[in-house]
Chains A and B, each alone.
Chain A
């Protein structure tokens, strides 16, 4: 059987994917996309978050075959034509990245939130990111980055929101 799906806008066709393989292992080991991280491996840390048809899932808990016929977006798929995605820009400008291990998952969770809710409150941002754990530096600047990225995606000018 062939596993066909769309990965970051490109069609992918794979042979010989075992039934029990996770989407995480498929991305990292079969497709060599190392932006998706393996943290806990049991759905508690969110480092392996990817978008499946635009909605965030833990790729460690998702059988690879669930991607069949669907669209998978990893952190590698956010930048377009060499331009970082507004959330990637806002994570940099807000200083929301320290070691960076949680960052791909944080950004994809944020992207999933903003596609449902373009103007979330801080509380809604925190709930949306509750499944993504940062062990470096805390969440203050991450929430700020999501707020800033949301404004950029809405086409609004930055505000003085450094609180």
Chain B
């Protein structure tokens, strides 16, 4: 008889995970893959660990010296929590663009990372915020930057006995403007074709840019960030940055059939997102 366990403490969860449990948080990705497995005649898991009742995973401490975002925090909470809107508006915006009301109700940021889809809006957003994943296993806890944890589409370095507790995030400089954009086939319930997260501090003291869905794994485009920091803010700089982001894409991914569209989309959406972030930092257009 299979078992579904939803412990209310981390120690028990770690012990259950170590028995080979599949992890579920919201279920919005796992249930689809279990359905597919069933249709293909594959076995269903014998042990499922529901991590959503563990207090550490529900922590949302964005005002802390080292801000922390628990893995079981839902997109609904990220979309509606006033502290998220104040401290990380780009994350609130990204969360508001995930799936539907139904998906946001249960889907979590930790599940978004563990599923490791290149199109994950939440992953793109927290990559720009410097997310470092905090992982727990019977061997203890370890930290790994999210951009290293996720290695390729739907592939990550999470060990078979590990679970994601949450993410440490960087504090952004005072007055930093933030923006998040997404391109999908429709406005809701769309897998991103492209998503862009940007944060810019006043006087270009700090620039963060993460571009998702068109790369195999999450990343900040550090070359583009440096280009922007060295430039004169304004439409020409945003255009240059957009073109540099597109070049970065073709350097990494080559010229596939969809590239003709993506190169233009990356260039323009990146430029627009940087311009929005700059305007929100109080900069002149």
Contacts and interface: CB of A to CB of B under 8 A. Distances in A.
Interface of A: 1, 16, 18-20, 22, 41-44, 46, 49, 52, 55-58, 60-63, 65-66, 68, 109, 112-113, 127-128, 130-132
Contacts of A1: 1, 3-4
A120 to B, nearest CB: 12
B26 A56 contact: no
Interface string B164-196: 000000000000000000000001110000000
Interface of B: 1-4, 6, 24, 26-28, 30-32, 34-35, 38, 44-48, 50, 76, 99-103, 105-106, 187-189
B189 A63 contact: no
B27 A62 contact: yes
Rank and list the top 8 A-B pairs by shortest CB-CB distance, nearest first. Answer: A131-B100, A130-B188, A65-B4, A19-B2, A19-B4, A20-B44, A19-B48, A58-B102
Contacts of B38: 20
Given A43-B28, A66-B27, A66-B50, A20 B102 contact: no
Contact of A57 (B2, B44, B105, B188): B105
Given A20-B2, A63-B27, A49 B102 contact: yes
Classify the secondary structure of B's interface with A: mixed
A22 B100 CA distance: 19
Contacts, number: 101
A127 B101 CA distance: 8
Given A43-B99, A57-B106, A20 B32 contact: no
Contacts of B27: 61-63, 66
A1 B35 CA distance: 23
A125 to B, nearest CB: 11
Contact of A44 (B3, B45, B189): B189
A128 B96 CA distance: 11
Contacts of B48: 19-20, 63, 65
Contacts of B26: 61
A50 B100 CA distance: 14
A46 B35 contact: no
Given A20-B44, A44-B189, A131-B188, A109 B101 contact: yes
B31 A46 contact: no
Contacts of B100: 43, 46, 58, 130-132
B25 to A, nearest CB: 10
Contacts of A20: 2, 34, 38, 44-45, 48
Contacts of A62: 27, 31, 106
A127 B31 CA distance: 24
Max chain B Cβ within 10 angstroms of own Cβ: one of A20, A56, A60, A128: A20
Contact of A61 (B3, B32, B50): B32
B278 to A, nearest CB: 28
Contacts of A112: 101
A45 to B, nearest CB: 9
B103 A43 contact: yes
B189 A68 contact: no
A106 B76 CA distance: 19
6 contacts: A19-B3, A19-B46, A61-B27, A62-B106, A63-B30, A65-B6
B114 to A, nearest CB: 15
Contacts of A22: 31, 35
